[in-house]
Structure 1
Amino acid sequence: MPSPSLPTEQATPLHECLISLGSNIDPDHYFAQALDIIGRECNLLARSKAILTTPVGFQQQPDFLNAALFVSTHLEYEAFRAYLKEVEDRLGRVRGTIKSGPRTMDLDIVAWDGKVVDEGYYQHDYVKTPVDEVLASSGRTLEPAKRS
């Protein structure tokens, strides 16, 4: 007997997303929390190991723990971006006046459906190194960002 399926008009496409994670406030705790939440609420396909990096921008703060996650989701880009900001809020993220200041968790979309959407991938090793590890382990590649 065939399994039931959603009617075509109700089916939503599955999107693939590479996420950059960063934390320098109790990072081991908040990394575990972020992985738990995203692992339960998204389809986690792969993850990198965490790396310790020095702060960029504002220097008077602890080092960061950075990593990357590869997930799939039925949410569209803007909805998924809002979802990640909501996860940051759930993890106690305080957005202060110093944009590059300390944080419990920073979650950014680096690539969406195989296309780079964050120039940070090209500019910062703390983004590129974990993302490249996930790409290698998943057999995926990325299309470059459209540069103006």
Structure 2
Amino acid sequence: MPPLYSPSEQAAVLHECFISLGSNIDPEHYFAQALEIISRECVLLARSNAIRTAPVGYQQQPDFLNAALLVSTPLEHEAFRAYLKGVEDRLGRVRGEIKSGPRTMDLDIVAWDGEIVDDGYFQHNYVKKPVDEVLAGSGRSLEPQKG
């Protein structure tokens, strides 16, 4: 897939996006693959360390590896969300009957242009802790979703 951003695109409006990553099927392998793809196709601005967490919801599965990325993209929100679902598919994600079941990679938009768009940030430490690490290291801050 060609890069989603070219440095020569000076007229493009760039959006900053915090992405939550999660995997519990060969997580080290799929984290490396996701990072390689996203770094090649987007502008990676910052990343958190990975943390190991117990599953939420369905318990009969391995622990998860979770992290957060801050990227820049010229895509609009819904197009970028579709892009992330495509990356999940490229990494072998199977969407089964159990929504909170095992997965090779889960990529969710947590914040878009400084605005929190996923309540998971407030509800789950596996989302909040990595995002807060990136915030602290990047000097950025987030606002709750408007309206």
User: Cα distance, 1:6 vs. partner?
Assistant: 6.4
User: What SS does the aligned partner of 2:75 have?
Assistant: coil
User: What SS does the aligned partner of 1:59 have?
Assistant: coil
Q: Which amino acid aligns with 2:57?
A: G
Q: 1:139 to 1:64 in 2, by over 3 A?
A: same
> Normalising by the residue count of structure 2, what TM-score does the alignment of the two structures yield?
0.92
Structure 1 residue ranges, 4+ long, deviating more than 2 angstroms after superposition: none
Percent identity reads 80
Counting matched residue pairs gives: 140
Q: Deviations over 1:69-121 (max 9, x none)?
A: 00000000000000000000000000001000000000000000000000000
Q: Distance in 2 between matches of 1:12 and 1:97?
A: 39
User: Cα distance, 1:146 vs. partner?
Assistant: 3.8
RMSD: 1.3
Whether 2:54 is the aligned partner of 1:39: answer: no
User: Cα distance, 1:12 vs. partner?
Assistant: 2.3
2:122 maps to 122
Structure 1 unaligned regions, length at least 5:
none
Q: Which amino acid aligns with 1:87?
A: V
> Normalising by the residue count of structure 1, what TM-score does the alignment of the two structures yield?
0.92
Q: Which has the larger radius of gyration?
A: 1
Q: Which amino acid aligns with 1:69?
A: L
1:14 maps to 14
User: What SS does the aligned partner of 1:82 have?
Assistant: helix
1:98 maps to 98
* Equivalence map 1:51-66=2 (5 Å): 51-66=51-66
